[in-house]
Amino acid sequence: MPDVIQVAQLTKHYPGARGAPPVRAVDGIEFAVRKGEVFGFLGPNGAGKTTTVRMLTGLTRPTAGSARILGFDLATEVTQIKKRIGVVPETSNLYDELSAFDNLVFSMQLYGVPRRERRARAEELLARFRLSEKRDVPFAQLSRGMKRALTVAAALAHRPPLLFLDEPTTGLDVMSARSLRGMIADLRREGVTVFLTTHYLEEAERLCDRIALIVQGRIVALDTVDGLKARLPARPAVEATLADGNGRIAMLRFEGRSVEEATQAALAQAAAEGRQVVALNTPRPTLEDVFVYLTGLSAEVMLAEKGKT
Amino acid sequence: MWRDDLRGMFYIALKDLRAYYLKPPNISWGILFPFAFVLAFAIRNPGELRDLVPGLLALTLLFGTSSMEAIVIVFERRTGALERLLLAPLRLSALLAGKLLGGMAFGLTVTAAVLAIALAAFGVGSVNWPLLILALLLSAAAFSALGAFVSVAVREVFEAQTLANFIRFPMMFLGGIFVPLGSMSPALRVVACLLPLTYAVEALRAAMDGRVTSATALDLAVLAAFAVVLFGAAVRTLARHIE
Ligand SMILES: Nc1ncnc2c1ncn2[C@@H]1O[C@H](COP(=O)(O)OP(=O)(O)OP(=O)(O)O)[C@@H](O)[C@H]1O
Ligand SMILES: [Mg+2]
């Protein structure tokens, strides 16, 4: 199966502000996205995620490098590509003046969905994204989460086999974000290939088949979640929850050459201090551990709330 | 490719008409403004009101096509909605042609209403209909392209309004509506020759009076040239946004 996206040495430099050197927003990245997978593009603010999406969707020209998308060359066949992709930009950008329904219909008109299919498809998408009640409400009057959902619906209106999602859940409350993630998981089941940028580690871990970690315009790692975790040097450890005579609880971490050795260390310390082991657990590395290990950055940079729509 | 372009163009124009042009305040301003202006002039200079009709039509067309057109693109760029059109499978020229078409359709509709009122008031007389229609179409294209160019050339909505007025108001006074070209100083006449409104007024006057001369053909050709050049400049300017 040929890859849906193939990127070679893709680069984008922006001219720097007065006197400053150029900004290397994206710096020679290479990767391939396989058919049917959810490919995560995970990185902190300013890493170059949006710039990459904008290049791959024809909104901005690469400074250097090339890409093939769905078999078409980005430099020469961009209209062929545009016909076959759906894009959800960082900011929900449907028409404030048009109703939810009319926005979907207009999207379909632009992409040449036949007239007889448009109405039914629009109703179907509204139902699927739980927006049927808001059918005739202008986009401007929807809540942020509804706007996001409708923007995703509009991107799907012409049934593209490849969908770009730029931070789909940023700025949403927990419930809306969870519901949107459920919809992304559904798309994968339907065979849609998804290119997803995010700065939420746990979102990437939950949704993505493979993840590229991007920092300062470069990909520092690209693998499955398990593959990424396997890169952490094996440091067998146990977490022991200890209780003293007064019922005070403490959680301690013990390391060793093996889990057995770490467990023995925990038991030995508990015995020496007259404390009781109430729970033992072998922590699995999280994506956060991997991120911190591979980038040397604190995981907090990924969690900074950006308050975008 | 062509089919995608034509389809996109048509639906963009339709969407703009529905979302922006056919809103009540826009419609009433489109009609009221030129009327108020001409009326003010007529009150101070009572005389042949009928002579003012070509100028009134040209003004209505100028404001009807370019007022909204000059802000739609910059407005959509601000809200991010323009990106939806840039992502769609159509060429930049088709995208802009759709915007142009929306402005033309609105301007021509409003002008047709004004024309109907004028004809009812003054009688049809010796109107040359084919010429009138051609003159209206070409003028609308030139004015709409002017609006599109203004809209892609600026970054903020208020800048678009300022720039559009900076171009339109001198045109109103030098375009041969209130002051005939013949009575202008040579320097002003040179300026008048650079303004599309001048040619629109001339061509419309010839069509309304049914007096077609070789100069009329030149007027039409110049209007077409304005439309093509301004449209080309707008496409090139928009293309630079995608760098
Ligand atoms: N139009 C532009 N002109 C100049 N510099 C830009 C432009 N767009 C982006 N940049 C710069 O390129 C770098 C990458 O930005 P980009 O928006 O791609 O990051 P991102 O990973 O999407 O970040 P975020 O998580 O905040 O959305 C940043 O340093 C940014 O300032
Ligand atoms: Mg971004």
Q: What is the pLDDT of residue B30?
A: 67
Choice among A143-157, A283-297, B22-36 with the minimum mean pLDDT: B22-36
CATH 3.10.20 in chain A is located at 237-284
Residue nearest atom 29 in ligand 1 by C-alpha distance: A46
Range scoring the smallest mean pLDDT among A86-100, A105-119, B55-69: B55-69
Amino acid identity of A115?
R
The alpha carbon of B30 and the centre of ligand 2 are apart by a number of angstroms equal to 41
Share of chain A above pLDDT 90, in %: 63
**Band of pLDDT at residue A308, cut at 50, 70 and 90:** very low
Task: Find, in chain A, the residue whose alpha carbon is nearest to that of B23.
Answer: A97
CB within 8 Å of B70: residues ≥ 6 apart: B146, B147, B148, B150, B151, B160, B161, B163, B164
CA-nearest residue, atom 30 of ligand 1: A46
B-facing residues of A in 53-92 (CB < 8 A) are: 57-61, 79-80, 82-83, 87, 89, 91
Residue A99 has pLDDT above 70, yes or no: yes
ipTM of the complex: 0.88
Say what the pLDDT of residue A307 is: 40
* Average pLDDT rounded to a whole number, residues B102-112: 92
Q: Which residues of B107-132 are buried (b: 16+ CB within 10 A; e: fewer)?
A: bbebbeebbeebeeeeeeeeebeebb
Q: Are A139 and A150 in contact (CB under 8 A)?
A: yes
**Residue A173's pLDDT band (cuts 50, 70, 90):** confident
Contacts of A75 in chain B (CB under 8 A): none
- Is the Cβ pair B81, A59 closer than 8 Å? no
B84 and A112 within 8 Å at the Cβ level: the answer is no
CB A299 within 8 A of CB A201: yes
**Chain mean pLDDT for chain A:** 90
Whether the predicted pLDDT of A287 surpasses 80 = yes
A111 lies within 8 A of chain B by CB:
yes
Residue A9 — very low, low, confident or very high, per pLDDT cuts 50/70/90?
very high
Chain A residues within an 8 Å CB radius of B11: 106, 109-110
Pairing of strands A23-33, A5-14: antiparallel
pLDDT band, residue A300 (cuts 50/70/90): low
Average pLDDT of span A274-301 = 80
- For B19, the closest of A80, A93, A95 (CB atoms) is A95
Angle subtended at Cα A257 by Cα A253 and Cα A258, rounded to the nearest 5 degrees: 80
Please give the pLDDT value at position A285: 80
Reduced to 3 states (helix: H, G, I; strand: E, B; else coil), residue A266 is helix
A82 → closest Cβ in B3, B87, B242: B87
Strand-pair partners of A224? A210
Nearest to A93 among B4, B19, B84 (CB): B84
CA of A282 to the centre of ligand 2 (A): 36
pLDDT number for residue B47: 67
Q: What is the mean pLDDT of residues B4-8?
A: 92
Please tell me which residue, B169 or A92, carries the higher pLDDT value: A92
Report domain extents, chain B.
2-242
User: Best mutation site among A14, A61, A82, A95 for testing chain B: the one with the most B CBs within 10 Å?
Assistant: A95
* Model confidence at A240: pLDDT above 80: yes
Which residues of B touch chain A, with CB atoms under 8 Å apart? 1, 3-4, 7-8, 11-12, 15, 18-20, 79-81, 83-91, 242-243
How would CATH label the architecture of A237-284? Roll (3.10)
Q: How far is A61 from chain B (nearest CA, A)?
A: 5
Q: Nearest CB to A110: which of B18, B88, B91? A: B88
Which chain B residue has the Cα nearest residue A88? Answer: B84
Q: What is the DSSP letter of A16?
A: P
Model pLDDT, residue B46: 66
Instruction: Find the mean pLDDT for residues B78-83.
Output: 92
What are the tokens at A114? 């036949």
CATH 3.40.50.300 applies to domain A3-230: yes
Ligand 1 centroid to Cα of residue B243, in Å, is 14
The residue-averaged pLDDT of A261-290 equals: 87
Question: What's the pLDDT score for residue A1?
Answer: 60
Say what the pLDDT of residue A305 is: 46
Mean pLDDT of B48-52: 75
Nearest one of A191, A189, A160 to A88, comparing CA atoms: A160
Kindly report which listed range (A65-69, A174-178, B92-96, B124-128) carries the lowest average pLDDT score: B124-128
Mean pLDDT across B97-105: 95
* Tokens encoding B168: 């339109």
Phi, psi of A245 (to 5 degrees): -60, -30
Q: Determine if the pTM surpasses 0.90.
A: no
CA distance A92 to chain B (A): 8
Torsion of CA A67, A70, A71, A77, to 10 degrees: -70
Burial A222-250 (b: 16+ CB within 10 A, else e): beebeebbeeeeeeebbebbbeeeeeeee
Of A168-172, A254-258, B181-185, the one with minimum mean pLDDT is B181-185
Which is more confidently placed, A282 or B218? B218
Give the residue-averaged pLDDT of A247-274.
Answer: 88
A78 C-alpha to ligand 2 centroid (Å): 22
Q: Which residues pair with A255 in a beta bridge?
A: A237
Question: pLDDT of B15-42, one tens digit each?
Answer: 999 888 887 777 766 667 777 777 777 7
Chain A residues inside the 8 Å CB shell of B84: 93-94, 107, 110
**Among A residues 151-180, those touching chain B with beta carbons less than 8 Å apart:** none
Indicate which ligand has the atom closest to the C-alpha of B242: 1
Interface test with A, best of B5, B14, B15 (most A CBs within 10 A): B15
Q: How far apart are CA A34 and CA B179, in angstroms?
A: 70
